[in-house]
Amino acid sequence: MTVLYVDADACPVKEEAERVATRHNIRMCVVSNGGLRPSRNPLVENVIVPEGPDVADKWIAERAGPGDVTITSDIPLAAACVEAGAVVLKPDGEVLTAANVGNALATRNLMTDLRAADPFRQGGGRPFSKADRSRFLNALETAIRKAKAV
């Protein structure tokens, strides 16, 4: 049975994901270190993991597999979930697959090294837009349909 895993800390599309999961009648696990308002939706399980580096990521990676969908911006988590056979989406709707997750991981590592080499480097990602939200909804709908067919 398909499960939707959400790496919830700093995820801007939790509400949208819940609506789509409800429409498809699938279980959704919202995984965080705490501090999130629990949903009253019976399909949504709020999983609070202990504080610590990558604890939520490890919890998801240990469970996600074929027929599941994971929403995360964390590229190492995405790589682990792709390897396990899950469909992986970033909150902007980008689908990470075996064909592109290695490149995303390499880019992430390069950017980490560049930031470490220049501690005064400013900036970050671009702002999350309505177009990103719309692209995410379309991608999630497609991903869930694909996952349910497994």
Residue 89 confidence (pLDDT) above 70:
yes
Torsion of CA 36, 129, 75, 110, to 10 degrees: -130
Contact 70, 12 (CB under 8 A): no
Domain membership of residue 105 as a residue range: 3-148
Q: How far is CA 132 from CA 30, 103, 109, 119, 140, in A?
A: 20, 21, 24, 29, 12
Runs of H (alpha helix) within the chain: 14-24, 55-63, 75-84, 101-117, 130-148
Determine the pLDDT at residue 110. 63
State mean pLDDT over 139-148.
Answer: 94
Contact 38, 61 (CB under 8 A): no
Residue 72 confidence (pLDDT) above 70:
yes
Label residue 9 by pLDDT band (50, 70, 90).
confident
Determine the pLDDT at residue 99. 86
Label residue 100 by pLDDT band (50, 70, 90).
confident
CATH label of the domain that carries residue 73: 3.40.50
Instruction: Quote the number of domains for the chain.
Output: 1
Residue 116 confidence (pLDDT) above 80:
no
Q: How far is CA 85 from CA 58, 65, 66, in A?
A: 16, 5, 4
Residue 105 confidence (pLDDT) above 80:
no
Q: pTM (2 decimals)?
A: 0.86
Q: How far is CA 128 from CA 50, 112, 137, 148, in A?
A: 28, 21, 14, 28
Judged by average pLDDT, the poorest of 4-18, 50-64, 76-90, 95-109 is: 95-109
Six-digit token string for 59: 């919890």
Pairing of strands 95-96, 69-71: unpaired
State mean pLDDT over 62-72.
Answer: 96
- Average pLDDT across the chain, whole number: 89
Beta bridge partners of 32: 48
State mean pLDDT over 72-98.
Answer: 93
